[in-house]
Amino acid sequence: MRQVNVGVLGFGTVGTGVVRILLENNHLLKARVGAELNLKYVADIDTETDRGIRLAPGVLVNDAFKVVTDPDIDIVVEMIGGEGIAKELILKAIEGGKQVVTANKALIAGHGNTIARAAAENGVDFGYEASVGGCMPIIKSVRESLVGNRIHSMVGILNGTCNYILTRIAESGSTFAEALAEAQAEGFAEADPTLDVEGFDTAHKLAILNALAYGMEINLHDIYVEGISGIDPVDIAYAGEFGYKVKLLAIGKDNGDSVEARVHPTMIPFADPLSSVSGSLNAVSISADAVDRMMLYGRGAGMMPTGSAVVSDIVDITRNLLTGSVGRIPVLSYQPEAIHKIPILPVDAIHTHYYFRFAAVDQPGVLSKISGILGDNGISIRSVHQKGRRSEGAVPIVMLTHRAREAAVKRALKEIADLDIVSDLPVLIRIEDENGGE
């Protein structure tokens, strides 16, 4: 039986999960793969901390370059993270003809085009299933299971921290700050949660998925990103009255000559399966021409779920090595010569439904003035509720619109904000609702 030597770079949370699966499920993997997955090295600058795993003598080293330059290593597994040394190590491993696996979404979103070209030029496989959606096989699904489909859209909850916070606000009426503190106490949020709550982590994942689905170069910088830190519990409560949940969504849509790519808080109807995805769970809904609609759902982070996705890549690559079929599946789903630049539609050009909340003075004619400005900008109102006066004396006016152009919406809201009858900045939340009418 052939032995495939694996070197893991990084012995942190996910690296520990990968090592644990490789060791504890070694016999299972051997029976399923037909090869011995031999953990030859684990490299980390910290060789003293007890991870609760007993490694054979000589396996744990503090020199990652020793691993990537060892001629006996077949697969390098990068679990260091970041875009500095991780990129250098991955490219060095690829140039040395080694297969590479990573969970590093930031690196792929920022440098994936370069890495994909290097992998193709050197005839190696590059696996990154764990970079999007944790244990959900979303990358495998797009690259393999849906290979015969034209993908129309992908809508996903791709950050467990944000989903946990929004779930807690909806269930308990907590403020954002209170829900964030709870998420941190439960281990679902980092001490500095900016990358998660401001939507950047989700944008990294959307950039990767768009490339796989639409044959475009990875383009992170043109994705519109808006986080959840400004979400008010009152808007989540009003959303519920209209039959909607608020989720931070990654939205990718094929418009033919352009792609929509945006990350922002979004209202979705209770009937949408994504609305029931709660807590720290992730999910992606895909619409395509042959399968119609499908959804993947599961743990988007964590030691063992993410480790499971990494090991799935190790196994896929091992099978390719055994059969001499390395490079069978293109790194970015499309053949390199078929990948091209596709522009991302500016957010001002999108058409969707909207939720507005205005804080207006309690006097006759207020609603007609607001409605008039909206109408002058081509924005049609689908529903309007005037709520009871809040403690500061303003009367909340809540509206849902038919489909409208973002640029017109922003122009109208600016005009409304300048009225002396409005006491605060208007609130806008976009709505994804196929049954919301035109």
Contact residues for 205 (Cβ-Cβ < 8 A; gap 6+): 105, 109, 131, 132, 133, 156, 158, 250
Q: Is 42 inside any structural domain? A: yes
* 9 annotated to a ligand binding site: yes
For the stretch 59-70, pLDDT in tens is 999 999 999 999
Query: If you search the block for the tokens 């490339």, which residue do you land on?
Result: 211
Say whether both 47 and 123 belong to one domain: yes
Taking alpha carbons only, the member of 404, 225, 249, 252 closest to residue 342 is 252
Exposure of 216 in the CB half-sphere (CA atoms within 13 A): 28
CB atoms inside a 10 Å sphere around CB 344: 22
* 10 annotated to a ligand binding site: yes
Say whether both 394 and 328 belong to one domain: no
Q: Is 116 inside any structural domain? A: yes
> What pLDDT sits at residue 365?
85
pLDDT band at 437 (very low <50, low <70, confident <90, very high): low
For the stretch 405-425, pLDDT in tens is 999 999 999 999 999 999 889
Q: Please state, rounded to an integer, the average pLDDT across all residues of the chain.
A: 95
CATH number at residue 244: 3.30.360.10
Say whether both 187 and 269 belong to one domain: yes
* 13 annotated to a ligand binding site: yes
Residue of 40, 98, 205, 253 marked catalytic: 205
Say whether both 147 and 295 belong to one domain: yes
Query: If you search the block for the tokens 């954002």, which residue do you land on?
Result: 176
> What pLDDT sits at residue 434?
79
CB atoms inside a 10 Å sphere around CB 23: 15
Residue 321 near residue 337 (C-beta atoms within 8 A): no
Taking alpha carbons only, the member of 14, 88, 6 closest to residue 40 is 6
CATH number at residue 422: 3.30.70.260
Compute the average pLDDT of residues 138-154: 98
Q: Is 356 inside any structural domain? A: yes
Residue 221 near residue 215 (C-beta atoms within 8 A): no
Say whether both 191 and 260 belong to one domain: yes
**3-state secondary structure (DSSP) of residue 296:** strand
The helix or strand, by DSSP H or E, that contains position 9, with its residue range, turns out to be strand 3-9
> What pLDDT sits at residue 435?
73
Q: How far is CA 10 from CA 59, 192, 314, in A?
A: 13, 21, 16
Say whether both 321 and 281 belong to one domain: no
**153 versus 386: which is more confidently predicted?**
153
* 11 annotated to a ligand binding site: yes
Task: Identify any residues that bridge with 100 across adjacent strands, giving them in sequence order.
Answer: 76, 126
Say whether both 32 and 73 belong to one domain: yes
Compute the average pLDDT of residues 178-185: 95
For residue 213 the two structure tokens come to 């689905």
* 15 annotated to a ligand binding site: yes
Say whether both 295 and 370 belong to one domain: no
Q: Is 202 inside any structural domain? A: yes
Say whether both 363 and 427 belong to one domain: yes
Task: Give the structural domain span for 355.
Answer: 347-431
Q: Is 437 inside any structural domain? A: no
Query: Cα Rg for the chain, rounded, in angstroms?
Result: 24
For the stretch 374-406, pLDDT in tens is 999 999 999 998 876 654 668 899 999 999 999
Q: Check pLDDT > 70 for residue 342.
A: yes
Domain boundary pick from 318, 338, 358: 338
Domain boundary pick from 299, 325, 355: 299
Q: Is 436 inside any structural domain? A: no
CATH number at residue 119: 3.40.50.720
Say whether both 13 and 72 belong to one domain: yes
DSSP tag of 122: H
> What pLDDT sits at residue 363?
82
**389 versus 9: which is more confidently predicted?**
9
Q: What DSSP string runs through 334-392?
A: S-GGG-B--PBPPGGG-EEEEEEEEEE-SSTTHHHHHHHHHHHTT--EEEEEEPPP-TT
The count of domains in the chain is: 3
Contact residues for 145 (Cβ-Cβ < 8 A; gap 6+): none
Say whether both 311 and 354 belong to one domain: no
Domain boundary pick from 299, 322, 356: 299
Q: Check pLDDT > 90 for residue 104.
A: yes
> What pLDDT sits at residue 364?
82
Concerning whether 205 is annotated as a catalytic residue, the answer is yes
For the stretch 307-340, pLDDT in tens is 999 999 999 999 999 999 999 999 999 999 999 9
Compute the average pLDDT of residues 127-151: 97
Say whether both 111 and 36 belong to one domain: yes
* 12 annotated to a ligand binding site: yes
Compute the average pLDDT of residues 341-357: 98
Q: Is 438 inside any structural domain? A: no
CA distance 231 to 21: 39
> What pLDDT sits at residue 394?
81
